[in-house]
Amino acid sequence: MVTIDFTILGMLNWKPMTGYDMKRMMQDSPVMYWSGNNNQIYKALVQLLDMGYVTNELQYQESAPNKKVYSITDSGRAALEAWILETEPESPEFKKAFLIQISWAGLMEKEKIDQLLARYEEQVREQIAMRQEEKRRQKYFPNRSEQEHYVWDQIYDNLCQSYEAELQWTVRFREGLKALK
Amino acid sequence: MVTIDFTILGMLNWKPMTGYDMKRMMQDSPVMYWSGNNNQIYKALVQLLDMGYVTNELQYQESAPNKKVYSITDSGRAALEAWILETEPESPEFKKAFLIQISWAGLMEKEKIDQLLARYEEQVREQIAMRQEEKRRQKYFPNRSEQEHYVWDQIYDNLCQSYEAELQWTVRFREGLKALK
DNA sequence: CATGCCATGTAAGGCGTTACATGATTTC
DNA sequence: GAAATCATGTAACGCCTTACATGGCATG
């Protein structure tokens, strides 16, 4: 039982879904984007079925492929709740290949460094725009209570703020660089 | 040729090192921590040797295992420089398992959510302290010019600021939660 | 006397990505 | 007529982690 399993249980605790639906939600989500591939989802679903944490119902469709609609069971709900409450929160991990790239540019001409930073800034701005758009669309936005709405609002903000902080860093970096020597 | 290769070339362009040294530097570094394992490093070094981007010299030691000290070649330096200047900067990736955890807690009691956030805040504070300590120690801090020193200063700050932004998010989250209903 | 450091490597396995297969339906 | 969507799955591969093997020396 790893994160993907609980991600699935969480989604199913929100509403019944097919594997395809979950893949969609995970891939569109800035939070659970990793693990959002067929390979892991369909494998995990088989396991969760075995453990009795989910059930599925085959739905025949004429104008589309048949689908298996999954639902969470009581024991699945219990496992999810236990995981949420008892798992020690992990500190976030940042993977920034750009920092490696720029770290070895320190001896190059100042303008080259600035150009690199400018290109990075561009990328980060794009990310911010995308995250804001995602939040605005509210495509996946559980809203079963005022409190839940607030929580999801904060989650969408989190990513925006992370990229915003990154943007501020690049701006300050470039200003300081210009002032050098 | 992927990131690990250029990470190695970058380190060797700073100073000659053994595989063991590089593993150390990568694992201690908040920037290149991923890939900091024997498996990838020793494999990559063999490849880089084949391609003529690095050379090594065997040093016999009596009171310790023999070691291979690697140095970068001119063609290695050229490849590194080309990579730095021509690679399109990647936007940073954030992997925050905690967001998944909290996202499905929206229907739980307010106190439980606050406790989760409090534990997360604790984790983030620890990270900030560690990053600041790393920066203070200046163990790995290329400093061949004022400009390079400035660049590395900014790099160490980057991680601190990312965690700082995360901390601010948790604080605001908790305040807003308290004010709810 | 056990643990940890130095130093090079190998092995096993999980996580995650990309691509492929199928096949009807809708959209451009 | 080509491409995308729905829907379930499989296959191949690379990245990354963890652990193991060796063996002398230093530290507690």
pLDDT tens-place string over residues A55-78: 999 999 888 889 999 999 999 999
Q: Give residue A67's pLDDT.
A: 95
Q: Give residue B1's pLDDT.
A: 87
| C1' of C28 to CA of A69 (Å) | 31
Rounded percentage of chain B residues whose pLDDT exceeds 70: 100
Q: Give residue B106's pLDDT.
A: 97
Whether residues A123 and B85 touch (CB distance < 8 A) is answered with no
Q: How many Å apart are CA A173 and CA A179, to the nearest integer? A: 10
| C1' of C6 to CA of B21 (Å) | 10
Q: Give residue A71's pLDDT.
A: 98
Q: Which long-range contacts (CB under 8 A, 24 or more apart) does A14-17 make?
A: A14/A142, A14/A144, A14/B104, A16/A69, A16/A70, A16/A71, A17/A69, A17/A70
Cite the DSSP H helix spans in B29-145.
38-50, 74-86, 97-103, 110-137
State yes or no: pLDDT of A87 exceeds 90: yes
Rounded percentage of chain B residues whose pLDDT exceeds 90: 93
Q: Which nucleotides of D are covered by protein (CB under 7 A)?
A: 6-12, 14-20, 23-26
Of A18, A30, A83, A164, which is closest to residue B168 (Cα–Cα)? A164
Q: Give residue B63's pLDDT.
A: 84
State yes or no: pLDDT of B181 exceeds 90: no
Q: Give residue B48's pLDDT.
A: 96
> How close does chain B come to A89, measured CA to CA in Å?
5
State yes or no: pLDDT of A138 exceeds 90: no
Is strand D in 7 Å reach of the CB of A67?
yes
Would you list the domain boundaries of chain A? 3-86, 97-179
Q: What's the fold here for domain B3-86? A: Arc Repressor Mutant, subunit A (1.10.10)
Closest residue of chain B to A97, computed from CA coordinates: B90
> How close does chain A come to B57, measured CA to CA in Å?
24
Tens-digit pLDDT profile for residues A139-153: 999 999 999 999 999
> How close does chain B come to A150, measured CA to CA in Å?
8
Whether residues A158 and B96 touch (CB distance < 8 A) is answered with yes
- Which nucleotide is closest to the Cα of A34 by its C1'? C16
State yes or no: pLDDT of A7 exceeds 90: yes
Tens-digit pLDDT profile for residues B91-130: 999 999 999 999 999 999 999 999 999 999 999 999 999 9
Measured CA distances, B63 to A65, B18, B66, B82 (Å):
69, 17, 9, 40
Q: Give residue A99's pLDDT.
A: 97
Contacts of B87 in chain A (CB under 8 A): 101
End-to-end distance of chain B based on CA atoms, in angstroms? 55
Tens-digit pLDDT profile for residues A88-121: 999 999 999 999 999 999 999 999 999 999 999 9
How sure is the predictor about A84, in pLDDT bands with cuts at 50, 70 and 90? very high
The average confidence (pLDDT) of chain A is: 96
Q: Give residue A62's pLDDT.
A: 83
List phi, psi (to 5°) of B109: -60, 145
| C1' of D4 to CA of A67 (Å) | 19
Q: Which nucleotides of C are covered by protein (CB under 7 A)?
A: 6-12, 14-20, 22-26
Contacts of B155 in chain A (CB under 8 A): 99, 102-103
Question: Which of A4-18, A59-73, A161-175, B159-173 bottoms out in mean pLDDT, i.e. has the lowest?
Answer: A59-73
Token pair for B105: 């807690």
Q: Give residue A12's pLDDT.
A: 98
Q: Give residue A181's pLDDT.
A: 82
Q: Give residue A64's pLDDT.
A: 86
B91 → closest Cβ in A13, A32, A127: A127
| C1' of C5 to CA of B1 (Å) | 32
Q: Give residue A1's pLDDT.
A: 87
